[in-house]
């Protein structure tokens, strides 16, 4: 188990292709690891690279303070090598490597919580997905002006995220490159904001079809009038759509102020966390729960 080395690209790319792309090719010039990321590989003496994972350098906000957080992504073992201990060795080796690099906490969005619980990870945080019929969205007037922002304006949005990170735990202070990725990467998303300076913003993948749901990918606010201004935007956006679907934290203003049946509310797959320093997995679970504290404070908005 080791960090990716020069010459591992083919094996690393092969795992990515077989586990995450349904066998689809990895381009010769494709950047598999952006500047915040590093790769790990598990090597078998006969099989070569049989598994891999990606580690993203991030932060986790706790009571407003950033802690060094390893975002764990693309954990995978080649299908023909599964069930023989490679995945276990990968996870244990990964935690050792994270300790060496002095990460404080690790985060992942699991395929199956129970598998990661074996390695000391705990499920934590509350984020709701609200799905409301567009015609039932509240008329919620606000005196703030709405505007569309180009994604080059991420520095205008960043203070809203910063304020959010003082209200909720689990937030990553994004680097410019991470903003680029969150705002759509190669296929940019639309960003709408309210107020100057901004008091709320929403990140949206606009859909062209009629009578389908319109999803809002990210929605943050610093004031009640900012929140209301964006709800007004959602209503306009979804004029010819069936529903609007958007995320809110545990103390959702929609649920307390604007709830109007019929509406569907569900818990969006919470993330899993683990304090890196604890070696024993059982102890790690107990210590991590104590460190994380109140799940309702944790918004875990990052999907990487
Ligand atoms: C998950 C994965 C990495 C595990 O790799 P692996 O080499 O098969 O793992 P191991 O052989 O070390 O461990 C398998 C063990 O996990 C158990 N296990 C497998 N899937 C499980 C699940 N969904 N829930 C709980 N336990 C599970 C097996 O029963 C086995 O238990 P045992 O050690 O008591 O026999 C591999 O199956 C994989 O690549 N899956 C597809 C990609 C994926 O879903 N990645 C995670 C994305 S977040």
- Residue 301: per-residue pLDDT: 75
* Span from the CA of 28 to the centroid of ligand 1 (angstroms): 29
The C-alpha angle with vertex 132 and arms to 257 and 300, in degrees rounded to 5, equals: 75
The reply to whether domains 2-126+270-297 and 127-267 share a CATH topology is yes
Residues framing ligand 1 (Cβ under 6 A): 19, 75-77, 82-88, 110-112, 114-115
Q: State how beta strands 271-275 and 105-108 pair.
A: antiparallel
Q: Which of 88, 107, 121 maximizes ligand 1 atoms within 8 Å of its Cβ, making it the mutation to test the pocket?
A: 88
Q: What is the pLDDT of residue 48?
A: 95
Burial 83-118 (b: 16+ CB within 10 A, else e): eeebbebbbebbbebbeeeebbbbbbbbeeeeebbe
- Strands of the chain, DSSP E: 2-3, 37-44, 48-62, 65-77, 105-108, 122-124, 127-133, 146-149, 190-194, 200-204, 214-221, 243-249, 263-267, 271-275
DSSP letter string, 207-239:
--SSSS-EEEEEEEESSHHHHHHHHHHHHHHTT
pLDDT of the residue at 189? 96
**CATH topology for the 2-126+270-297 domain:** Aminopeptidase (3.40.630)
Q: How would DSSP label each residue in 103-139?
A: -SEEEE--S-HHHHHTTT-EEE--EEEEEEEGGGS--
Strand partners, 275: 105
The pTM assigned to this predicted structure is 0.94
Q: Which helix (H) or strand (E) holds 166?
A: helix 154-167
Closest C-alpha residue for ligand 1 atom 43: 76
pLDDT of residue 254: 96
Position in ligand 1 atom list of the atom nearest CA 110: 48
Cβ–Cβ < 8 Å for 18, 32? no
Query: Distance from the CA of 221 to the center of ligand 1, in angstroms?
Result: 39
Length of the chain: 304
Q: Whose CA is nearest to atom 44 of ligand 1?
A: 111
Domain boundaries, the chain: 2-126+270-297, 127-267
State the Cα–Cα distance between residues 94 and 53, nearest whole angstrom. Answer: 8
- Closest approach atom of ligand 1 to CA 83: 11
Q: Return the SS3 of 193.
A: strand
- Collapsing DSSP to helix, strand or coil, 25 comes out as coil
Q: How far, in Å, CA of 160 to CA of 170, rounded?
A: 15
Q: Which atom of ligand 1 is nearest to the CA of 86?
A: 7
Strand pairing report for 243-249 and 214-221: parallel
Whether the bond into 53 is cis, omega within 30 of 0: no
Q: What angle do CA 145, 151, 156 make, to 5 degrees?
A: 55
Minimum-distance ligand 1 atom for the alpha carbon of 81: 7
Which protein residue's CA is at the shortest distance from atom 32 of ligand 1? 83
**Which CATH architecture group holds 127-267?**
3-Layer(aba) Sandwich (3.40)
What is the position in ligand 1's atom list of the atom closest to the CA of 76?
Answer: 39
Q: How far does residue 111's CA lie from ligand 1's centre (Å)?
A: 10
Mean pLDDT per block of 10 residues along the chain (304 residues) reads: 94 96 93 94 94 97 96 97 96 98 97 96 96 89 93 93 96 94 94 97 96 96 96 94 96 93 92 97 98 92 70
Distance 273 CA to ligand 1 centre (A): 18
| Predicted local confidence at residue 303, as pLDDT | 67
């Amino acid at each position: 188990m080791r960090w990716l080395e020069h010459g591992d690209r083919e094996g690393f790319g092969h795992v990515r292709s077989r586990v995450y792309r349904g066998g689809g090719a990895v381009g010769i010039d494709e950047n598999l690891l952006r500047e915040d990321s590093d790769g790990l590989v598990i090597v078998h003496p006969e099989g070569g690279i049989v598994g891999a994972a990606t580690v993203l350098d991030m932060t986790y906000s706790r009571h407003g303070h950033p802690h060094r957080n390893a975002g764990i992504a693309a954990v995978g073992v080649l299908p023909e090598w599964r069930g023989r201990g490679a995945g276990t060795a990968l996870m244990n080796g990964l935690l050792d490597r994270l300790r060496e690099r002095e990460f404080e906490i690790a985060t992942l969005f699991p395929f199956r919580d129970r598998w990661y619980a074996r390695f000391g990870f705990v499920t934590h945080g509350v984020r709701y997905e609200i799905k409301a019929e567009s015609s039932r969205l509240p008329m919620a007037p606000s005196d703030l002006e709405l505007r569309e922002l180009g994604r080059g304006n991420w520095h205008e949005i960043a203070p809203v995220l910063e304020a959010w990170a003082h209200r909720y735990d689990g937030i990553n202070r994004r680097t410019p490159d991470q903003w680029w990725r969150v705002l759509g990467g190669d296929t940019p998303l639309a960003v709408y904001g309210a107020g100057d300076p901004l008091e709320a913003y929403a990140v949206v993948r606009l859909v062209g079809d009629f009578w389908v749901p319109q999803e809002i990918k990210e929605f943050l606010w610093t004031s009640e009038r900012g929140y209301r201004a964006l709800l007004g935007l959602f209503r306009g956006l979804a004029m010819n759509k069936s529903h609007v679907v958007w995320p809110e934290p545990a103390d959702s203003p929609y649920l307390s102020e604007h709830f109007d049946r019929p509406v569907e509310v569900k818990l969006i797959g919470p993330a899993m966390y683990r304090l890196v320093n604890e070696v024993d997995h059982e102890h790690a679970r107990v210590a991590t729960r104590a460190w994380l504290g109140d799940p309702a404070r944790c918004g875990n908005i990052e999907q990487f």
